[in-house]
Structure 1
Amino acid sequence: MALDLAAIHWFQGPSLLVLMGVHLEGIFAAACLPLLLTMVLFFGPLIQLVMDYPWDFLEGMKMFLDPQFWAQCLADMRWMRNQVVAPLTEELVFRACMLPMLVPCTGLSRAIITCPLFFGVAHFHHVIELLKFRQGTVVGIFLSAVFQFSYTAVFGAYTAFIFIRTGHLIGPVLCHSFCNYMGFPAIGAALEHPHKVTIFFFYLLGVILFFLLLFPMTDPTFYGSLAICHLTKPDTSTSVCT
């Protein structure tokens, strides 16, 4: 019986867990650098938050290191859903599971674009809830759904890019959790802020720095070998893996 060379290549390749971004090589960089990059993008909203709700840094650190604070968070089902369960399960399904299946069929670049479409559609269940409980007009709910689809699709493309560039699941999960905490930037509040010029300066600075640092801070050399890049043919590889 003839041997299937493709099957041999598959079994000689990376393990399933490594393909799903669950491994220890380069994990510290994978946990820190994408999160810092995302915080750079949210530089404006973070400055706005500090200006509106000033707090002492040392007191904040004490609270962050207080086990009782984390015990209260873990006991809060809404916090657990938004900061732990949703980021972990959604990134596991739409990045760790879906991307390794899409990449051999579509290539890296198309997978980054295609995967978020499923992620965006998965959030349409909010429309059913809003319509069921009549929380707004049909047109308003539809426009809200279109906006949410666009926002989640863009975010999904970003975390897909991070997953492929780092080869780790932890980066997308932490970025997802951070974005859930921050929410969509309060542009309306920024427009009415007494220091709106300063705030929009930091908004613009954050966006500029984000695009300047996007490739340097996700440089694959920080994270070890990229298992998912083994799923592409040599003649279809892109700069995403280099």
Structure 2
Amino acid sequence: MPPIPLSSLLPTRTAHLLALSFSASYVGCLYVVGKLVPGPRDKPAVIRARLAAVSVVSVASCMVVGRLVSRSGQLWPLDARTLKALGFVLPNGIYPCLQTPLLFLGPLYAAALSRFLFPEASPSASGLLHNLTTWIGFRNYVWAPLTEEVVFRSCVLAVYSMSGAARWKMVAFAPLVFGLAHVHHALDVYTRLGRTKKALQQAVFSALFQTAYTSLFGAHASWLLLRSGSIVPPLIAHIFCNIMGVPQLGAEVQQMPQYKTSIYAAYLLGIGAFGWTIRSWTA
């Protein structure tokens, strides 16, 4: 008997509930850890506890998807079909992994200029490698991107695929789960700034901006996974964006006004090349 097509395994409502459950579990475990291991979020003991918690949630989410795909009750249902549904395969070529750096051609050019003009004040590769040896760096550039992509990309898109959702709907709406999952950072901002009226305004602005930015990134990462069939391109994109941060075009032009034209040109070239290759490089 041939396997049941993945696109007919789940009703849409169930897919919504599962996607929200994955998100709520991921965010909720952070608050549970916060109660069990009190302290600031950058305290090493808190980081270790949080990383362990999101690791458990990530594995559990994958097992839920595995059971849905395999339709079996086995304890570890991650067979080849499940691994493919989750995108746990290598991409067919390197081009999907280069899509995000291509979009960031402007910031990369500005960073190279800044490194050339102000070597003492510019971050270096050795500095980045040193950060990776700290708990904060490991969280920001390795484990958080990995677990977030597994839960919010692999698992969320897998259940929506099982419901037969159109690809454009998954690219447009599934990332909202990822964006809303970052709203809780506003509470950290509000608490850190003293719980004042001004702190509340800053927290609301931070939440709105972060939700919009992470939702846009989520759409891009979802596109990469759906097109390439692999979690590797969106994971590389996530790590790369965490390293680069939000583009600072205004600050870069202000810092190096003599290169204003070339900086603008690099930004436009990166955006244009990204749009030109978005289908061919991810096919």
Give the alignment's TM-score, normalised by structure 2. 0.64
Among all aligned residue pairs of Structure 1 and Structure 2, give the percentage whose two residues are the same amino acid.
32
Residue 115 of structure 1 and its aligned partner are, at CA, apart by 1.3
Unpaired runs of 5+ residues, structure 1, are 56-62, 220-242
Measured in 2, the distance between the counterparts of 1:161 and 1:5 equals 26
Secondary structure at the aligned position of 1:217 is classed as coil
Q: Which whole-Å CA distance do the structure 2 matches of 1:112 and 1:90 have between them?
A: 16
- Residue 107 of structure 1 pairs with residue 161 of structure 2: no
Q: Which stretches in structure 2 are left out of the alignment for 5+ residues?
A: 9-68, 72-78, 118-123
Query: Counterpart amino acid of 1:124?
Result: V
Contact 2:91-2:229 within 8 A present in 1 as well: no
Matches within 5 A, 1:131-142: 131-134=190-193, 137-142=199-204
Deviation of the 1:167 alpha carbon: 0.6
Q: Which amino acid is the alignment partner of residue 43 of structure 1?
A: L
Are residues 1:21 and 2:120 paired?
Answer: no
How far, CA to CA, are the matches of 1:123 and 1:209 in structure 2? 30
Residue 128 of structure 1 is matched in structure 2 by 187
Aligned length: 203
Shift in Å, 1:144? 2.0
1:25 to 1:216, Cα distance in 2 relative to 1, 3 A: closer
Contact 1:34–1:175 (8 Å) recurs in 2 = no
Q: 1:184, 1:99 → 2: CA distance?
A: 25
CA contact (8 A) 2:95 2:281 kept: yes
8 Å CA contact retained: 1:123, 1:149: yes
Higher relative contact order (CA 8 A, sep 6+): 1
Query: Does the 8 Å CA contact 2:179/2:214 hold for their aligned counterparts?
Result: yes
Question: How many angstroms does 1:140 deviate by?
Answer: 2.5
SS at match of 1:124: coil
The answer on whether the counterparts of 1:94 and 1:119 sit within 8 Å (CA) in structure 2 is yes
How much has 1:103 moved relative to structure 2?
Answer: 2.2
Q: Find the counterpart in structure 2 of residue 78 from structure 1.
A: 136
Match of 2:261 in 1: 197
Residues 39 and 7 (structure 1), Cα distance of their counterparts in 2 relative to 1, 3 Å cut: closer
TM norm structure 1: 0.75
Q: Offset at 1:18?
A: 1.2
- Work out whether 1:94 is the aligned partner of 2:152: yes
Aligned to 2:281: 217
Asked if 2 retains the 8 angstrom alpha-carbon contact of 1:190 and 1:200, the reply is no
Work out the CA distance in 1 between the residues paired with 2:5 and 2:111: 53
